Amino acid sequence: MTEGRQGGSVNKLEKTATSPLLRRMNAAAVLDVLRTGGPATGTELMEVTGLSRPTVHTVCDHLIEMGWIDEIESRRSGDPSSPGRRARQYLFNARAGFVVGIDMGQNKATAVVTDLRGDIVAEDTRGFALDLGADDRIREARQAMASALDAAEVTAAGVLAMALAVPGPVGPDGHIIASADTEYLPGLGEVDLDQAVGAGFHCPVLVENDANLAVLGERWHGAAAGVDDVIELLAGERLGAGLYLGGNLIRGTAGGAGELKALSMVEGVGNTDGIGFLAREFGAEVVASARGPRSKVGRSALYAAAGGDPTAVTAQLVFEAARTGDAVALEVVDRVVTRIARVLALLHTMLNPELIVVGGAVADAGDLLVPGLEIHLHSLVDAPPRLLASTLGARAVVIGAVRRALDHAERALFTDPAPTARQTAS
């Protein structure tokens, strides 16, 4: 939570905000200080947050009751030799509870367990086939979560919130909006994912689109830190966009904001195939086209790396060959960025962000992709946005899931009835 970080504005809100909102904002202000720093006295919290002394101590008493902070051995403020009552001192209790972030992608599930500061305690990943059905995908996700919780020595009772990322639009009711035969979401649209994944837990399970969570992760710990108008383009196998505009995550009425099916109508694009998919397919095409010892392709580093077998071509092989200066691989990369630049131009023209982040596993090839994308984008639009490769790569989604779960756990602090960390911690 970020409400209440501006000290002067909090004092005004103490008099004008509604009580539930005010309590959440005051708690967020105090938690932000204690979570990012060390122990602090009431006076120090007053100075940083702008809250009054009674408000600080009321908030701290409640947070102590909820288990999120501890009152530790007091110390004198100012001159330690001076007489007077010792000041109360507070410390953030990061391990009073835990949250879980899960990325249930197209071919793997990753579960991360963190403490209340967001520090990773344990994680686990399970790979699976693209055609795996809904029940089996859920089982793999739950096994990854169980393994991570076991490694962290955290019981189900210690989990305050979970967030589950899925590669598709999610409606207000938490259901994936997809037909049963959607290739990358086989049967998941017919399942109550919060109940299926959260069976045996008493905490909320927040189901969210993966690109939406990726942009939250990028703003929290990645390339978009502090940017209020940013688009995260997940660009691995399939294109999807997380939209964070005007300081808010944009989901749309039915969770469809950022879905890019309209690319089928864009000249030079045609569908939502991502950078990783295109690099692999275009690379396989040129390897398959090699003919005879004089073939330019046959003499290329890409051809040699694939052993002349088109089915052995991967996006990673294409990028590795391009980094050696291989002309064939560089032509493949240019063909990819020429196409993806049109996608970026469309996003810029419609939404006018300050920054577009290229995310997903292909972000590791940002040194190859971003310069070419910038060149082509400048030829398509005036005053293009900044363009960066994700610093989190494929982990942006699960990091964003953690952020989503932490935000929910914090908001629940003053929601009645709200489980306390002390009641739920292992």
Do 369 and 276 fall into the same domain? yes
Contact predicate 98/115, CB 8 Å: yes
Do 379 and 264 fall into the same domain? yes
Written in H, E and C, the secondary structure of 58-108 is HHHHHHHHHCCEEEEEEECCCCCCCCCCCEEEEEECCCCCEEEEEEECCCE
* pLDDT, tens only, 129-143: 888 888 999 999 999
CA neighbours closer than 13 Å in the CB half-sphere of residue 401:
31
Do 46 and 146 fall into the same domain? no
Location of structure tokens 């007091």: 74
Do 374 and 413 fall into the same domain? no
Q: Buried b / exposed e across 348-371, counting CB within 10 Å, b at 16+?
A: beebebebbbbbbbbbbbbebbbe
Do 142 and 191 fall into the same domain? yes
Do 105 and 162 fall into the same domain? yes
CA distances from residue 259 to 88, 157, 191, 341, 350 in whole angstroms, order as listed: 51, 36, 21, 17, 14
Do 86 and 123 fall into the same domain? no
Instruction: Please say which residue of 60, 77, 92 terminates a domain.
Output: 92
Do 185 and 242 fall into the same domain? no
Residue 80 is predicted with a pLDDT of: 55
CATH number of the domain where residue 65 is located: 1.10.10.10
As a whole number of angstroms, the distance between CA 81 and CA 39 comes to 20
As a whole number of angstroms, the distance between CA 362 and CA 370 comes to 11
The residues, ordered by sequence, that sit 6+ positions from 139 with a Cβ below 8 Å of its Cβ are: none
Could you tell me the two tokens for 401? 């899931």
CATH number of the domain where residue 298 is located: 3.30.420.40
Do 105 and 134 fall into the same domain? yes
Mean pLDDT throughout 182-202? 87
Mean pLDDT of the chain: 89
Location of structure tokens 């002309």: 327
Do 88 and 110 fall into the same domain? no
Could you tell me the two tokens for 389? 């490769």
Report helix, strand and coil shares of the chain as percent, to nearest 5: 45, 20, 35
Query: For residue 161, what pLDDT band results from cuts at 50, 70 and 90?
Result: very high
Instruction: Please count the structural domains in the chain.
Output: 3
Do 325 and 297 fall into the same domain? yes
Residue 25 is predicted with a pLDDT of: 87
Domain that holds residue 296: 230-391
Could you tell me the two tokens for 280? 């692999």
Do 385 and 402 fall into the same domain? no
CA neighbours closer than 13 Å in the CB half-sphere of residue 160:
33
Query: What dihedral angle (degrees, nearest 10) is formed by the CA atoms of 282, 285, 289, 294?
Result: 30
* pLDDT, tens only, 67-115: 999 998 775 555 555 555 677 899 999 999 999 999 999 889 999 999 9
